Amino acid sequence: MILVTGGAGFIGSNFVLDWLADHDEPVVNLDALTYAGNLNNLRPLEGDPRHIFVHGNIGDAALLSDLFTRHKPRAVVNFAAESHVDRSIHGPEDFIQTNILGTFRLLEAARAYWGGLENKSDFRFLHVSTDEVFGTLGADDPAFNEETSYRPNSPYSASKAASDHLVRAYFHTYGLPVVTTNCSNNYGPLHFPEKLIPLVIHNALKGRPLPIYGDGMQIRDWLYVKDHCSAIRRVLEAGRLGETYNIGGWNERANLHVVTTLCEVLDELQPRSDGKKYGEQIAFVADRPGHDRRYAIDARKIEAELGWRPAETFESGIRKTVRWYLDNADWVENVTSGSYRNWVEKQYA
């Protein structure tokens, strides 16, 4: 039995689905079902006794204690987080509550449970984090590696950096068997359409502007979510305790290049009815405050130690992603209704 937190969100639900496709080991899935958590992501698991869903928050100490006592997981995989930079700029408190205090309470519950285990060496706590904790890079700077200093520049990345430090401290202070992963920008199926790639796909198909911050030359390393999930499984299986592992796709691309590539794939797979190109919908908007210019992940450590490399190129992953959104219009319509739609129209009007 493993305990997955945030398992109804984008990366978490992909992880749970992939885990149960490859393993018979059950999953207890704890998710608060905030705006980005969606039970529809887990619909293929309806009626599957290996999947135990619990609606709750990682900040609920009593609930966490009960889950550890009742289910006795051998591992925790912590995806639970508020994760959108724009939202952290406009409302940072939720990020402090979930990413810092929530991680603290999860660590405390795990430590109390682990302390009572007879075979303490069998337990693992895997904390999923982001490359944004490292700050920004210049055009010629080497990519982030596991020794790069933390320099977070947004409330989101600062809250994730704090959670990473807590996890490290619980290893060095208490001996809790932890491992941390720091990933680059994920994309793929089940991605809530506030982030660049799903937002562009959704807006393109609706005939809306495709918003690009500033000059669009902000560079990110893009990681297909299924590759990320396979890396996490490998780290959980064989990662060294107390270590961090960077997970990247070896796909540095400027945001403008990402959007034009999406437009080209859409032009091919679902052309506009008026015969025009989707690229004509591109609209440059004012840049995000404190927008980091470049992220890049050096993922050589996980390859050298654990033998992991991404299976998808940027081109193959983008094509799979567009195809998934075209084939799952009902899912997209469901998550883009109500409060989300109002938020998007306000931000990108």
In sequence order, what are the residues at sequence separation of 6 or more whose Cβ sits closer than 8 angstroms to the Cβ of residue 42? 7, 8, 13, 16, 17, 29, 51, 53
Could you report the per-residue pLDDT of 212-262, keeping only the tens digit for each?
999 999 999 999 999 999 999 999 999 999 999 999 999 999 999 999 999
Say which residue, 329 or 229, is predicted with more confidence: 229
pLDDT at 338: 57
Active-site pick, 156, 170, 295, 325: 156
Determine the average pLDDT of the residues in 330-343: 69
Say which residue, 37 or 270, is predicted with more confidence: 270
Could you report the per-residue pLDDT of 153-206, keeping only the tens digit for each?
999 999 999 999 999 999 999 999 999 999 999 999 999 887 899 999 999 999
- Is residue 131 among the annotated active site residues? yes
Tell me: pLDDT of 85 over 90: no
In sequence order, what are the residues at sequence separation of 6 or more whose Cβ sits closer than 8 angstroms to the Cβ of residue 118? none
Active-site pick, 31, 82, 113, 132: 132
pLDDT band of 139, cuts 50, 70, 90? confident
- Is residue 170 among the annotated active site residues? no
Q: Which tokens is 320 given?
A: 């799979």
pLDDT band of 120, cuts 50, 70, 90? very high
- Is residue 132 among the annotated active site residues? yes
Q: What is the mean pLDDT of the chain?
A: 94
Tell me the C-alpha to C-alpha distance, in Å, between residue 224 and each of 267, 304, 308. Answer: 21, 20, 14
Q: What percent of the chain has pLDDT over 90?
A: 85
pLDDT at 251: 94
pLDDT at 34: 87
Could you report the per-residue pLDDT of 214-228, keeping only the tens digit for each?
999 999 999 999 999
Say which residue, 337 or 71, is predicted with more confidence: 71
Tell me: pLDDT of 268 over 50: yes
Tell me: pLDDT of 84 over 80: no
Active-site pick, 131, 221, 227, 292: 131
- What is the set of domains in the chain, with CATH numbers? 2-187+224-248+296-312 (3.40.50.720)
**Quick one: how far is CA 207 from the chain centroid?**
27
pLDDT at 192: 87
Taking the whole predicted model, whether its pTM rises above 0.75 is answered as yes
Which of 34-43, 228-237, 297-306 is the least confident region? 34-43
Count Cβ atoms within 10 A of the Cβ of residue 51 and give its class: 0-12 exposed, 13-18 middle, 19 or more buried. buried
Placement of tokens 């293929």 in the chain:
44
Determine the average pLDDT of the residues in 258-267: 98
